[in-house]
Amino acid sequence: MATPHAMTLKPVSEGSSEMGARIYRNQEKLLKLLSLLGAPQTEMPGWKPEMPNLETVSDAEGSETVLAHNQRQLLIVIEAILTKSPVPTISLKKHLMECGKAAENQAILHANLLKYANVPVGATAPWNARMHDPLGMTAYCYIMHNQTVMLNTIHAKNPDLFVVKLRDSACCCGIQ
């Protein structure tokens, strides 16, 4: 069965962005783990996922260091969810320039992982915020598209959990 386009990662090549390619390879590893959420083998006693080593980006190499840091933090949360361990508090970094929107997307991914794990998200956490997913062919556009694919993967594991119910002031019922 073919994978729908919306669920396909867009590769970032070394030629277009060396640091972006590292972030992309990390996204592949994280998506593989996200696909295990709720899988039957996670219910087997003693099962433990093989945790990947994520590539890093140093501060001197570029602003993608923020994204690489946040990916390592998300990996910690994913591992806790998969092993049914308490989800730890993590610290995500923000960026105001080039990779700022991708870093915001990582915060949305984190909030959705918390919601998936039935961990209180808090009123300010953006679990239902809209992902930045611009059209374009730059490394950052591809990275943000891939983040949307990751979010869709999380939502597909329990679609009912992520329904946003709106209240219509003229109506007494919620609208989905």
* DSSP assignment letter at 12: -
For tokens 């910690």, the residue is 76
Q: What is the pLDDT of residue 124?
A: 58
| Phi and psi angles of residue 49, each rounded to the nearest 5 degrees, phi first | -75, 150
Report pLDDT digits (tens) over 45-56: 889 999 999 999
* DSSP assignment letter at 96: S
pLDDT at 143 over 50: yes
Q: Please, which residues bridge with residue 167 across strands?
A: 174
Distance of CA 170 to the CA centre of its chain: 36
Which token pair is 56? 């890093």
- The residue extents of the domains of the chain are 5-175
Q: Please, which residues bridge with residue 174 across strands?
A: 167
| 157: amino acid identity, one letter | K
Report pLDDT digits (tens) over 91-120: 999 998 879 999 999 999 999 999 999 998
Tell me how many degrees the CA angle 121-123-127 measures, rounded to the nearest 5. Answer: 55
